[in-house]
Amino acid sequence: MDHRDPERTGSVASVENAAVLASAETQARPKASWLETKLRPNKINARYPIRGKALLFSTCAFGSLGDALFGYNSGIMSGLLVNPVFIAKFFSEYGGADGTTTTVNPTITGISVACLQASAAVGALAAGRLGDMIGRKKCVRIGAFIYFFSAFMQMFAPGFNCFVAGRTIQGVGVGFLSMTVPIIQTEIAAPHRRGLMVGIEYTFLIAGYMLSCWVDYGFNFMLPDKLS
Q: Is 155 helix (H, G, I), strand (E, B) or coil?
A: helix
Contact 85, 225 (CB under 8 A): yes
Q: What is the mean pLDDT of residues 110-118?
A: 89
Query: Whose CA is closest to 106, among 118, 119, 91?
Result: 91
pLDDT at 9: 45
What rounded mean pLDDT belongs to the chain?
78
Q: Is 43 helix (H, G, I), strand (E, B) or coil?
A: coil
Percentage of the chain exceeding pLDDT 70? 74
pLDDT at 187: 81
Residue 119's CB is within 10 A of a number of other CB atoms, namely 20
Contact 146, 173 (CB under 8 A): yes
Residue 182, Ramachandran bin (φ over 0: left; ψ between -120 and 50: alpha; else beta): alpha
Domains of the chain, first to last: 52-222 (1.20.1250.20)
Q: At what angle do helices 65-80 and 194-217 cross, to 10 degrees?
A: 30
| End-to-end CA gap in the chain | 82
pLDDT at 146: 93
| 23 vs 127, residue with greater confidence | 127
pLDDT at 184: 82
Q: Is 178 helix (H, G, I), strand (E, B) or coil?
A: helix
pLDDT at 93: 80
pLDDT tens digits for range 5-58: 444 444 555 555 566 555 655 555 566 666 566 556 666 566 666 677 777 788
| 37 vs 90, residue with greater confidence | 90
DSSP code at position 5: -
- From residue 155, give the alpha-carbon distance in Å to each of 91, 143, 159, 164, 165: 16, 18, 11, 12, 12
Farthest-apart Cα atoms in the chain, separation: 93
- The Cα 45–Cα 165 span in angstroms is 37
Q: CA-based angle 146:153:149, to the nearest 5?
A: 25
- The Cα 70–Cα 226 span in angstroms is 27
Decide if pLDDT at 219 tops 60. Answer: yes
Decide if pLDDT at 153 tops 70. Answer: yes
Q: What is the mean pLDDT of residues 112-141?
A: 88
Helices within the chain (DSSP H only): 6-26, 34-39, 52-63, 65-80, 84-90, 106-134, 136-155, 160-188, 194-217
Which of 11-25, 84-98, 131-145 comes out lowest in average pLDDT? 11-25
